[in-house]
A and B are shown apart, each in its own frame.
Chain A
Amino acid sequence: MSDELPAEVLAWIGRVVVVDEAEVLVERGLIENFCSSVEDGNPLYWDETVANEVCGGIISPPAMLSAYNRPHPWTPKRGDKPLNRPLELHFKVKDALDYPRGIVTELCFEFGVPVRPGDRLRAEQSLREVSEIKTNKLGTGRNWTIDVTYKNQSGAVAGVETLSFFGYRRAS
């Protein structure tokens, strides 16, 4: 297999390739569903009085940053075919490099302005880097890193999620 990257992948490095407008608004019911599921009683997510005093109102837990930009399974407008798959850029890279398998190896979140009920987030996916071809116990493939920058309706950055992947083909 050639070590040279396909031209389309090279062209993606360092720029925003996929933009997702969230199909759902941030709202308290979603926040409470999540906090209930991980037993998080932080009053910033539940108690308006405390949240108002500490951070100006109820906020969304940081771990939900990526939740709002995942597509609905179905909508009346587009049926069950979302415009983009979740983490579309990862799949574009994986397909362009012709790797049947891909796993997340590392995740990093940097948080900015709090996400609040009523916000609608926009996710901008960019490709930071792609490694040389390497072989490990999983198989032969490449690592790549994708940054997803989440912005609210005012353009303020709510956070950046950096995901490192290993796409590979098992040894035959």
Chain B
Amino acid sequence: MNPDIKRLDTSVLAVGDKLPVLQVDISAQKIIAAAAATRDWQPLHHDYAFATQKAGTPDIIMNSPTQAGWISKYLTDWAGPLARVQRMSFKMKDAICPGSALCFEGVISRVEDRVDEGLALEVEVLLTVAGDFKTKARVLMMLPNEQLQNPWSGL
């Protein structure tokens, strides 16, 4: 395998380990560009007047595929492209709006060597703004192990 491809040292991973924190300044442009890229034309994601006057939200809000995209980016920036996201679940408690400094924090909640299937790594990701909980996600990724050098092989 190309040595330039980022590869996580999985031998040191343990339950309770924290991932580096990521902070992103969320603008209207970021919310609208991603809503359009996910082909989501609901006005709540691009129309300020609709959002505030009809939907009763404080501003336009980030859609769920965009949240999934940021969570996926957060994890694979850390784990590298060999990490294959297999399962992602999340609960959204509160809206994410322009002007927010959105903070991503991750904690490893499970490490399981599945031998021929690779290393299963579960991470709990918390999205907060100024300490307020917005979204909580649980993501299962498959990583290389001794038996399987590439979790994408065979797919």
Contact = CB atoms under 8 A, between A and B. Distances in A.
Interface of A: 24, 30, 33-44, 49-50, 53-56, 61-68, 70, 73, 86, 104-111, 113-114
A110 B66 CA distance: 17
Contacts of B2: 49-50, 53
Contacts of A39: 24, 73
Nearest to B89: A108
Contacts, number: 119
The B interface, classified by DSSP as helix, strand, loop or mixed, is mixed
B23 interface: no
B85 A111 contact: yes
Contacts of A33: 33, 36-37
B155 A55 contact: yes
22 contacts: A24-B39, A33-B37, A35-B69, A37-B33, A38-B70, A39-B24, A40-B72, A43-B81, A54-B152, A56-B152, A61-B69, A61-B72, A63-B66, A63-B69, A63-B72, A65-B65, A67-B65, A70-B40, A106-B89, A107-B64, A109-B87, A111-B88
Interface string B4-31: 0100000000000000000010000010
A43 B76 CA distance: 10
Sorted nearest first, the 6 A-B pairs with minimum C-beta distance are A63-B68, A63-B69, A40-B73, A108-B89, A34-B37, A37-B34
A40 B64 CA distance: 16
Interface of B: 1-2, 5, 24, 30, 33-34, 36-42, 64-66, 68-73, 76-77, 81-82, 84-92, 150, 152, 155
A30 B40 CA distance: 13
B103 to A, nearest CB: 15
B15 to A, nearest CB: 22
Nearest to B38: A67
B92 A104 contact: yes
B81 A73 contact: no
Given A38-B69, A62-B68, A54 B39 contact: no
Contacts of B81: 42-44, 50, 54
B69 A64 contact: yes
Contacts of A53: 1-2, 5
